[in-house]
Structure 1
Amino acid sequence: MLDFVAIDFETANSGRDSPCSLGAVIVKNGTIEKTFYSLIHPHDSCFYFDPFNTEIHGITEDDVMDSPELPEVWKNLVDDLSGSTLIAHFSSFDCSVIRYTFPLYDLSFPECTILCSRNVAKRQWPDLLSYGLSNVAELLNFDFIHHNALEDAKAAAAIIFEAARLQNANSCEELAQKLQLKMGLFQTDQYIPSRRLSPRSSKSIKIPECLDLTNPELNPDDYPFWDRDVVFTGTLLSMKREDAFKNIAAAGGRPQNAVNKKTDYLVMGEQDYSRFSNGEKSSKTIKAEELKAKGSAIEIISEADFLNMLGDKVTIPQNTSSDFKDEIYLKGIQPKFDESLETLRQICAEVIEPQRIKMNQRKYFAVIELDGNKGMPICCFFTKGNSVSIAFYDENNNQMERCIMYKYDALYDNSFDLKNLIRKYLGIPLEKPPYEDGLVHVRRRGTRIEFSIDLEQLQAQKKEE
């Protein structure tokens, strides 16, 4: 029988221990028996709403102030989930919410198997460009409101229904078997993730043809990665991994898929670099650190550093297909991106002499350097949605601060705060805010500073002036 419980958590912030809503679809014998939805008051230890998360799902602190905490909410699903199959799209996220939040309340893990609807979609429809929930739902002509927990759970359930129909599968176990998927498992004190049985074909990227380093006509000084072995980990924002390999080869280096004793550089994509800063490390990072401890000359560098080293040797235009597949969306953000970068350059120029500023711009990614390689680089890029992310690095490319503006206009209205951050790192005295206290809301989270501004109040104040 096709029995399962499709769930979806939304979180208040980047911490997996901060669920703020839960949606569930309970399916018995191939039919939706009931649905469930509730807001959740996060645990006091992690009660913080990241503006970025709120921008996505629309839930605020005020919304959950009188809502029950997780134990009270979860008891509505205990009986239905026990002995059944938990379905979630990108199940590792939702399962990590359970893994990190349940211990806060001394709750036992549910007794159930796990199947990821994203993995199901990858096996069932292998030619899709993206397997995000909205993309797969569009393929199924399933209308829903993305990032509403119940709506997302319904969409995940719809994927299982359609895949089971096409595979003529009468249970989740049979569906997993036919699609060569290994079901995960939750037990009282154990978690085994759902996964695909065979490795992804894209795991190892074909090594492009490299330069002939024995050619006497080639000048090593013209090639920034001359005779260097380079490995990548994480997701690059500036280009696809295949294009990064080609760039390394064109710059005189040898791109590789795995870290070993010969590796000279490990380039960490943005996702891995942020994980690294928070203490979580990829297997490649761990291997690199082990080699470093044994005396290897391997160096871990950021994507910004990688782009700086390439300089004019970038031969493949940036490809953002992994994050931005909608050409209409691309055409919409390009003018805003160019305009915002120019604004950021002007902001820098108001703090220090313009000749000390160097901009290395790609299509949707840019690096702004102060005082060249010896100064402070500022890495500016866009995430999907109307948000700007600006990261500040020290001379060793260690991320010091990170600002996220959640509207394009905020780059202009928060220019004062950006100037003061730049002044801070250059040792220049800070300026007094040109507006009243309370208009700008600042939050610090680890190495990241997030701030937003009440534009209506600011506009009203300007009118009064």
Structure 2
Amino acid sequence: MSDAWVAIDFETANGYRGSPCAVGLTAVEDGCITERMHTLIQPPAAYGHFDPYNTRIHGIRASDVETAPSWAEALQRILEFTAGRTLVAHNAAFDLGVLRDACTAQGNPWPTLRYACSLVVSRRTWRLISYALPEVARHVEVPLEEHHQAGADADAAAHIMLAAIRHHKAASLDQLLKGLNIVHGTVAPNAWSGSRSKSNHKGKPSAPMPGANLDADPDGAFYGKTVCITGTLSRMKRAEAQAALADAGATPVKNVSGTTDVLVVATPDPRRFAIGSEKSSKQKTAENLLEAGKDIEIIGEADFFERLNS
């Protein structure tokens, strides 16, 4: 049986996910790219305005899509092209969210799909400073000269997944996901679930850190951030806060490092401080990183809960 799947990437007209204005698809069979499709799209009418910010990113204007297919027509083309094959996207939570939200906005039922996320696979395959599409593409030596052009980004996602398959010596996409303990995401007419890593722990784990939920709201304050907590929170246990962060799409970590984006400083426990110190080692590390030019934010407990609940 051949290994066949399709990489997909959407661009949107504005900040609402259900405003697709372009889609790119790259078909892969047995390790080779076999076919491509790209089309501009008229976003659903209720969300058809073009935000200047989005246009600066991808260059698409309202005038460019005046004669483009409607969302219903584009969706039909997408489903005909994919023909039931598994979809692959880099940060699939966003791209499959675009598809679902556009269907909802247009009054179309959600199609039945299965998908995988090359971002989730990349995190389980390579140790990188950033897992953004251009950085992973650069790591696997895939040229990406037109980032945010849907066809180019779909191509890059396909090459990244192919590189991971080769790296792990997997015979197929399904075998790769099984070996990495990653579940497929699914979309059905009345439900959906994300493509995510499953725990590799057997038996009783020793306080594992929860993984980021990539299907969380990408507009959330902590989505995509690496967050560390120091001190004692007054409103919940630290493990509960770490789980809440992960559910919001953040990556909670136990210690501050150069990859940490936010340090939450709760009520300090002086018993844990070094002799003569008034700050935890985590806070001192964060302050040293700030002085060295690292973009790390230090916030208090009140700000933490406000952002978590926003």
Matches within 5 A, 1:277-292: none
Aligned to 2:152: 151
Call closer, same or farther: CA 1:199–1:45 in 2, change over 3 Å.
Answer: farther
1:241 correspondence with 2:227: yes
1:199–1:282 CA distance, 2 compared to 1 (3 A): farther
Relative to structure 1, is the Cα distance of residues 48 and 30 closer, same or farther in structure 2, using a 3 angstrom cutoff? same
1:19-57 CA deviation, whole Å, 9 max, x = no partner? 111011012333222111111111110112222222222
Mapping of residues 38-437 of structure 1, within 5 Å = 38-125=39-126, 127-144=127-144, 145-198=146-199, 202-203=209-210, 234-235=221-222, 241-242=227-228, 245-246=229-230, 248=231, 256-258=238-240, 315=284, 316-317=286-287
Per the alignment, do residues 9 and 257 of structure 1 end up closer, same or farther by CA in structure 2, a change over 3 Å counting? Answer: same
Distance (Å, rounded) in 1 between the aligned partners of 2:65 and 2:223: 35
* Deviation at residue 159 of structure 1 after TM alignment: 1.2
Q: What is the alpha-carbon root mean square deviation over aligned residues?
A: 4.1
> Counterpart amino acid of 2:163?
E
Structure 1: which amino acid aligns with 2:153?
Answer: D
Task: State the SS of the aligned residue for 2:124.
Answer: helix
**Deviation of residue 60 (structure 1)?**
2.0
Q: Distance in 2 between matches of 1:253 and 1:73?
A: 48
Residues 130, 32 of structure 1: alpha-carbon distance in 2 compared, 3 angstrom cutoff? same
Distance in structure 1 (CA, Å) of the matches to 2:40 and 2:69: 7
State the AA in 2 paired with 1:235.
F
Q: Specify the alignment match of 1:12 in structure 2.
A: 13
Asked if the contact 1:82/1:112 (under 8 Å) is kept, the reply is no
Q: By how many angstroms is 1:110 displaced? A: 3.3
Tell me the distance in 1 between the aligned counterparts of 2:288 and 2:23.
38
Q: How far apart, in 2, do the equivalents of 1:317 and 1:57 lie?
A: 37
Cα deviation, residue 363, structure 1: 6.5
User: Post-superposition shift, 1:164?
Assistant: 1.4
Larger Rg: 1
> 2-side partners of 1:192 and 1:240: how far apart?
23
Give the residue type in structure 1 aligned to 2:172. S
Post-superposition offset of 1:161: 1.0
Distance 1:16 1:236 in 2: 15
Deviation at 1:9, TM superposition (A): 0.5
In structure 1, C-alpha distance between the alignment counterparts of 2:170 and 2:236, rounded to whole Å: 46
Aligned amino acid, residue 256 of structure 1: R
- For residues 91 and 21 of structure 1, the distance between their equivalents in structure 2, rounded to whole angstroms, comes to 16
User: Contact between 2:222 and 2:248, CA under 8 Å: does it hold in 1?
Assistant: no
Amino acid at match of 1:203: P
Q: 1:115 to 1:319 in 2, by over 3 A?
A: farther
Contact 1:82 1:110 (8 Å CA) reproduced: no
Aligned-pair identity (%) = 29
Preserved CA contact (<8 Å) 2:13 2:43:
yes
Question: Aligned in 2, Cα 1:318/1:44: closer, same or farther, shift over 3 Å?
Answer: farther
Shift of residue 253, structure 1, vs aligned partner = 11
Residue-pair matches, total: 259
Distance in 1 separating the partners of 2:295 and 2:161: 38
Q: Distance in 2 between matches of 1:253 and 1:105?
A: 42
The structure-2 alpha-carbon separation of the partners of 1:180 and 1:49, relative to structure 1 and needing over 3 Å to count, comes to same
Distance 1:173 1:57, change over 3 A: same
Q: Secondary structure at the match of 1:77?
A: helix
CA distance in 2, matches of 1:104, 1:240: 33
The residue identity in structure 1 corresponding to 2:76 is K
Flag the 1:182–1:61 CA change in 2: closer, same or farther, 3 A: same
Structure 1: distance between partners of 2:163 and 2:182: 16
Letter in 2 for 1:317: E
Task: Give how far 1:143 is off.
Answer: 0.6
Residue 92 of structure 1: how far off its partner (Å) = 0.7
CA contact (8 A) 2:3 2:172 kept: yes
Provide Cα deviations, 1:364-411, integer angstroms capped at 9, x if missing partner. 8799xxxxxxxxxxxxxxxxxxxxxxxxxxxxx99xxxxxxxxxxxxx
Supply the distance in 2 between the matched residues of 1:63 and 1:318 (Cα, whole angstroms): 49
Which of 73-82 and 169-178 deviates more?
73-82
Please report how far the alpha carbon of residue 179 of structure 1 lies from its aligned counterpart in structure 2 after TM superposition: 1.2
Stretches of structure 1 lacking an aligned partner (at least 5 in a row):
205-232, 261-267, 273-280, 284-305, 321-326, 331-361, 368-396, 399-465
Distance of 1:364 and 1:103 partners within structure 2: 38
Q: 1:178 to 1:317 in 2, by over 3 A?
A: same
Q: Displacement, 1:236?
A: 9.0
